[in-house]
Structure formats: C-alpha cells, structure tokens
Copies of this chain bind each other. A is one copy, B any other.
C-alpha cells in the first residue's frame, strides 16, 4: 500500500483566490517566550488550498459541508491526464475518456505544474471545466470531481459550472495537487474538516494504491 498526499501545504505563501485575503497562520503562544506550549491561530477563507465545496457555496439554502456524504468522499477514484494543450475541459475533451467512468474522477491538467513550480500568486489562466463538460460528467453518473486548481470552473465564469455540479449533488474537490500522481485507479480519501453550515472547508486528501 502506498499513500500519495495530494494536499497543498497551507501557509501564507499559498496562492488564494484573486482578491481574497492571504492565509494567516500565526504562533500566538511560544515556549521560547515562557508559554507552556506552542499554540497557533489560523485565519483563512474556507476555500483555500485543497478544499471541498458545499452546495450552499452557490445554491442558497442548500446544505453545508458537514452534510456531505462520507461514502462519496471515500472510495475508488480514477486520475485522468488531460493534454497539456487543453485550456478548457469541455464535453468534447472528456468524451475520449471512455465510459463507464468511476464515481470519482480527478482531472489532471497543466494546472498541476503551478504547484510543482511553487508559484505563490493566483494564476487566472488555469484550466477549468465548461458548463457542457460539467453536464457531461453529471450525465455519466460521476459523484465526485477533483481538479488541480482552486476552482472547477474557468476564471470569471464560475457560476454556471458550479451550479450544474452542486445542484446535481456532485462533490467538488478543488486544489488537489496531482503533480506527483501517475494517472490510473486509486482509493481516494478526501476529508474536509467539519465546519458547521459552511460553504466549503479545507480538506486533507490522499490517494492510495494497492
């Protein structure tokens, strides 16, 4: 059994969504200054780093992150490599992947190189999924979609893609760092922290190969 950590390290250097406040992780009690223990405080948006979206992120009144199904967040998943030249994940791009698709699909794109390079600023030219690409995955019965940048949707066009997925109850894993992962079949464990009523939550996500 080999475990691949596909989670980004959360720190002040991690890029956040354009216009959002950067992540703050500060040690507020320090042994070296006489405290009993070292203790840190975190302040960040709930959509930083490797994270999961809840339906209420785009659909008012819908459920929060704590209600997402653990049975969907844990289970067999396929990592699919998309061509380096792919700038938008459309139905046409997805069709050659073949069917049936497993219930959990992680799309590896040129975005993963952003993480490999350790870029600290937001990259608006990331690869996202078009509305017809989202509808294709919903129609194929996919229940969890993972992407390797901070949104499943293209920049400045976030609503339609999110709405299609979230209204269909698809769980969205965003900011997965797939740069070290070889395409293929794995067991996914994707666990967002249990933030009550939240529109999203940072998650630790791993892939396990037998």
Chain A residues with CB under 8 Å of chain B are 3, 5, 7-11, 20-21, 25, 27-28, 31-32, 36-47, 49-50, 56-58, 60, 66, 70-71, 74, 158-159, 162, 189, 191-200, 202-204, 206, 208
Known: A31-B60, A42-B42, A43-B43. A193 touches B37 (CB 8 A): no
Q: How many copies does the complex hold?
A: 2
Q: Is the CB of A38 within 8 A of B199?
A: yes
Whole-angstrom distance between the Cβ of A8 and the nearest chain B Cβ: 7
Chain B residue at minimum C-beta to C-beta distance from A60 = B31
Sorted nearest first, the 10 A-B pairs with minimum C-beta distance are A191-B204, A11-B196, A43-B43, A38-B199, A9-B196, A191-B191, A7-B194, A3-B70, A193-B202, A40-B46
Which residue of chain B has the shortest Cβ distance to A43 in the bound complex? B43
Complex CA gap A70/B203 in Å reads 14
A44-B50 Cα distance, complex, nearest whole Å: 18
Residue of B nearest to A205 (CB): B191
A10 touches which one: B3, B5, B11, B196 (CB < 8 A)?
B196
CB distance from A10 to the nearest CB of B (A): 5
Take A45-B41, A57-B39 as given contacts and tell me if A25 and B196 are in contact as well, using a CB distance cutoff of 8 Å.
Answer: yes
Enumerate chain B residues within 8 angstroms of A195, measured Cβ to Cβ: 9-11, 25, 40, 42
Instruction: Pick from A27, A32, A194 the residue with the most CB of B within 10 Å.
Output: A194
Given known A-B contacts A60-B31, A195-B10, A46 and B37 have beta carbons under 8 A apart: no
Not counting A11-B195, A20-B39, A40-B46, a sample of 7 additional A-B residue pairs whose C-beta atoms are within 8 angstroms of each other reads A25-B195, A37-B158, A38-B57, A39-B46, A39-B199, A43-B43, A193-B204
Of residues A31, A37, A71, A206, which shows the largest number of chain B Cβ atoms within 10 Å of its Cβ? A37
Q: Is the CB of A10 within 8 A of B194?
A: yes
